[in-house]
Structure 1
Amino acid sequence: MPTPTKPADTDQSFRGVLDALERAGDLHRVVRPVDPRFELGTVLSLRQHGPAQLFSNVTGHAMPVIGNVMNSRARIAALLGTGTASLHEVILDALASPIPPVVVDHAPVQEVVHREPVDLARLLPVPTWFEHETGPYITAGVIVAKDPETGRRNVSIARLRIDGGGRVMVGIAKNHHLNLLAEKARKLGQSLPIAVAIGNHPAVLLGSQMYLGLGDDEYDVVGGLLGAPLRLTRCLTVPLEVPAGADIVLEGAIDADDPVEEGAVSEFHGFYVRYGPGIGGTIACVTHRRDALYQAILPGYAPEHCLLGALAIEAVCCQALRRVIPAVRRVLVTDGGMGRLHAVIVMHRPRLGEGKRAIILAMGQINLLKFVVVVEDDVDPEDAAQVEWSLAARFRGGEDLVVLPGMKADRCDPVHENLTVTKIGLVACTRPSDGERGGLSEFARPPAGILAEVRADLDHY
């Protein structure tokens, strides 16, 4: 087991996150009354960048709501204790060096206990987000379940609509691991116990999004992100473990034999979709801190929602590509590509054909990707102007364009036809023969020594 690189008593609580935001000046307190039905979400949408928003006066509820917590790479990096430039490698290191969790006996998340009958709408200030959605949705709930056959854990996020009392509807795709576990339980004649943790350390939210194999424990990756074992506590009514540092936990079960129509719901591209029925379930117990905060993530095409998916996709994709193409340095999933569909692959002096190979492998690894640009490592993938410069300076349409019609698409792609799309790749890299053919491959610069001297002394000019 890898040796933890940080003290085991590192603050893993959501309360610690709040304190860190406050110290950094990254927390804005909204003190006027705000209605959780549409108004709260509208404020988050109009303030999607900048400080996290803490709503202390939510109409009809004593519990505050916080949102826009992880709405930039810089914020996520800071909350994970690193810098923006090293965030990508920190996530890759967590995938490569996972640390298993530990269980503790007592946790503040169980200071207050509500047992059946539970009324979620009364207990929690769950926002209703968009005009045509059919109810309020829990959007930052980390769902924990176990394989009913193997007992192996799965940790993920899915949207949960509250449907009155303790009833919930979980909206998940057929290939989602949580759905596969629910189907396993159905075939055994069982419902699937779940626990939903709300108000989590950013490492828990980010770790839950990793594209791991069924049976791999996302809590191990969370430990890698923390540099120490994630502390868990046992639930009171279901055989599951949840982050001890969470603010709220819902305990219950979902039943794949209980389909519930969802209706129109927002997706990461910003449009409504209609996926059909989700899985029904019941929450029988709610526990929380005495001073609990309800954490929400604005759904749809919003920075926090898109970025959580993007960071996970790019790390898993980069890890897979590096195994077979050592020249790969980084994968960036772009904001404009909704954190899902477009990527930039950075390579170091790729050999002829390696850029195209990287494009095809990336699209095969991540089904969502449909537009990929390959650049060299003298280009900053986070700077859209540099990426466009690379296309203008190095891309040859007749030789460097990859077009793959009729490729399998995800059901959430906004332009798929019968679950297929045309996928496109562009290789914008220098070739070894560019100089011989009159290409522009050498940058015009002053002598290296002068450049280094002036750069070191630039503040004095």
Structure 2
Amino acid sequence: MTDQSMRAFLSQLDKLGALHRVKRPIDPKFEVGAVLALRDRGPAILFEQTGSLPVLGNLLVSRERFALGLNVAPEKLDDLCLQALSHPIKPVMSGSAPVHEVVQSGDIDLRASLPVPTWFERETAPYITAGVIIAKDPENGRRNVSIARLRLEGGGRIMAGIAKNHHLNLLAEKAKALGRRLPIAVAIGNHPAVLLGSQLYLGLGDDEFDNVGGMLGEPLRLVKCKTVDLEVPADAEIVLEGELDPEEQIEEGPVSEFHGFYVSYGAGLGGRISCITRRHDAIYQAILPGYASEHCLLGGIAIGATLRQALQRMIPAVRRVLITEGGMGRLHAIISMHKPRLGEGKRAAMLAMGQVNLLKLITVVDDDVDIENPREVEWALAARFRGHEDLMVIDGVKADRCDPLHENLTVTKIAMIATTRPGDGEPLSRSEFVRAPKSILDRVTADIGQY
């Protein structure tokens, strides 16, 4: 098996000059977050002196960085995600693991044990932001893997901020109906495939670890937890073991969201961590929350992959889906299509809005447009979009509570169809690009370094 740890990727970044080490002492309260925000698109940053464990941030701040971490060419990143969805590989169990080198149980003090950052001025406590949460359905035992923000409440107590439709919350509600608490494990410091796999939009009961294996091209190696009946990535840096108590409601107050504003969602679920296991030289991984590249990309790449799969099942002409960073990795999408028939662009946009509740601005272009190049997308709008026919405006659509502009949980959704139509490709039409003969272009392209 290949090395499935985060540190293997760190070593790769270090060799490429894409890992920056901060050797001066730094305070996890606000200072770590301020540095990560000001160097948002730069190298990964390892803070070596935080008072406890080193802190790693800005690991996956570009699509190129994700591709590197998944050992695939950048242009093949979407295809790899699609392969992971269509060809999952089940995990395998290991009898021992690096994450069990140190075991701490009994009276847990999370603040003393871990350098968890406090991120923003109005947030009231530190938040774990890169913790991959593993839980099982209390009725059928099926595994769920996700990320939710976890606030430290003192000692081993935590508060989980989870949307009502989040699968983890649904499992907690099931446990509540059975009169139980929900056991959880939180893996921190994971391979990029584990992080990305945890964000895939799957059905309740589908195991995200199977899709992580599809990304890796081999089974993900798991190990049994020490105190709860759960399995976690064997090569993680740190694992927290405990439970959520669906009967305990803790008011959260202002918290940052992906759009970069504060929101107040009310109460979150209480819980307690009773055991910490880790590597002896563990690195604490953090993801800068709010409107930050890693936060937006982690959700956006996963949403784009699952949406592309769903659309292609219905409309084979769909080629790619990009959830844009400018749209916060959640709200805006660009869909490319190959020779769509009349009306298919609008159908794709409507299906996308139905599939992903968050989406509210969709642009549809032909597949001769590079959807990762904003200049080309804007060109398509200028050259192929007919406002009186190709603009869709739908008022009063049910919105997600995360949307920064919702009114009574509704928003206006918009689609712009910037594609060619049958007949547009005729000679001298507005869709025929001016270019040299193809044979000359191909020869010059092959020898461009000689010019």
The two structures have a TM-score, normalised by structure 1, of 0.97
The 1-side partners of 2:221 and 2:370 are apart by 37
State the SS of the aligned residue for 2:388: coil
Work out which of the residue numbers 384, 396, 405 in structure 1 matches 2:386: 396
Q: Which amino acid aligns with 1:313?
A: I
Give the corresponding residue for 1:6: none
Give the corresponding residue for 1:169: 159
Where do residues 259-278 of structure 1 align in structure 2 (5 Å cutoff)?
A: 259-278=249-268
Q: Does 1:240 align with 2:254?
A: no
The 2-side partners of 1:299 and 1:363 are apart by 25
Q: CA deviation at 1:171?
A: 0.1
State the SS of the aligned residue for 1:359: helix
Give the corresponding residue for 2:46: 54
Gaps of 5+ in 1: 1-8
Q: CA deviation at 1:433?
A: 2.8
State the SS of the aligned residue for 2:386: coil
The 2-side partners of 1:152 and 1:319 are apart by 23
Gaps of 5+ in 2: none
The 2-side partners of 1:395 and 1:152 are apart by 46
1:191-215 CA-to-partner distances (Å, cap 9, x unmatched) read: 0000000000000000000010000
State the SS of the aligned residue for 2:209: helix
1:111-168 CA-to-partner distances (Å, cap 9, x unmatched) read: 1111110000000000000000010000000000000000000000000000100000
Q: CA deviation at 1:453?
A: 2.0
Where do residues 316-395 of structure 1 align in structure 2 (5 Å cutoff)?
A: 316-395=306-385
The 2-side partners of 1:187 and 1:263 are apart by 27
Give the corresponding residue for 1:12: 4
Q: Does 1:122 align with 2:148?
A: no
Q: CA deviation at 1:296?
A: 0.2
State the SS of the aligned residue for 1:281: strand
Work out which of the residue numbers 91, 94, 112 in structure 1 matches 2:81: 91
The 2-side partners of 1:437 and 1:186 are apart by 67
8 Å contact from structure 2 (residues 46, 54) kept in 1: yes
State the SS of the aligned residue for 2:49: coil
Structure 1 stretch 137-146 or stretch 16-25: which is displaced more? Answer: 16-25
Q: Does 1:66 align with 2:49?
A: no
List 4+ stretches of structure 1 deviating above 6 A: none
Q: Which amino acid aligns with 1:14?
A: M
Q: Which amino acid aligns with 1:46?
A: L
Work out which of the residue numbers 440, 445, 449 in structure 2 matches 1:450: 440
Q: CA deviation at 1:62?
A: 2.6
1:346-391 CA-to-partner distances (Å, cap 9, x unmatched) read: 0000000000000000000000000000000110000000000000
Q: 1:271 to 1:68 in 2, by over 3 A?
A: same
8 Å contact from structure 2 (residues 426, 432) kept in 1: no
Q: CA deviation at 1:15?
A: 2.1
State the SS of the aligned residue for 1:63: coil
The 2-side partners of 1:116 and 1:261 are apart by 26
Give the corresponding residue for 1:37: 29
1:69-90 CA-to-partner distances (Å, cap 9, x unmatched) read: 0111101101110110000000
1:21-57 CA-to-partner distances (Å, cap 9, x unmatched) read: 2122210000011110001100000001121000001
The 1-side partners of 2:349 and 2:44 are apart by 36
The 2-side partners of 1:418 and 1:49 are apart by 35
Q: 1:285 to 1:425 in 2, by over 3 A?
A: same
The two structures have a TM-score, normalised by structure 2, of 0.99
Cα-Cα RMSD: 1.1
The 1-side partners of 2:436 and 2:179 are apart by 74
Q: CA deviation at 1:20?
A: 1.6
The 2-side partners of 1:78 and 1:395 are apart by 36
Q: CA deviation at 1:438?
A: 7.9
Q: Does 1:414 align with 2:442?
A: no
The 1-side partners of 2:80 and 2:15 are apart by 23
Work out which of the residue numbers 441, 452, 455 in structure 1 matches 2:431: 441
Q: CA deviation at 1:436?
A: 7.1
Structure 1 stretch 299-308 or stretch 10-19: which is displaced more? Answer: 10-19
State the SS of the aligned residue for 1:69: coil
Q: Which amino acid aligns with 2:12?
A: A
The 1-side partners of 2:18 and 2:260 are apart by 26
State the SS of the aligned residue for 2:8: helix
Where do residues 134-283 of structure 1 align in structure 2 (5 Å cutoff)?
A: 134-283=124-273
State the SS of the aligned residue for 2:144: strand
State the SS of the aligned residue for 1:75: helix
Q: Which amino acid aligns with 1:13?
A: S
Q: Percent identity?
A: 66
8 Å contact from structure 2 (residues 364, 416) kept in 1: yes
1:256-278 CA-to-partner distances (Å, cap 9, x unmatched) read: 11000000000000000000000
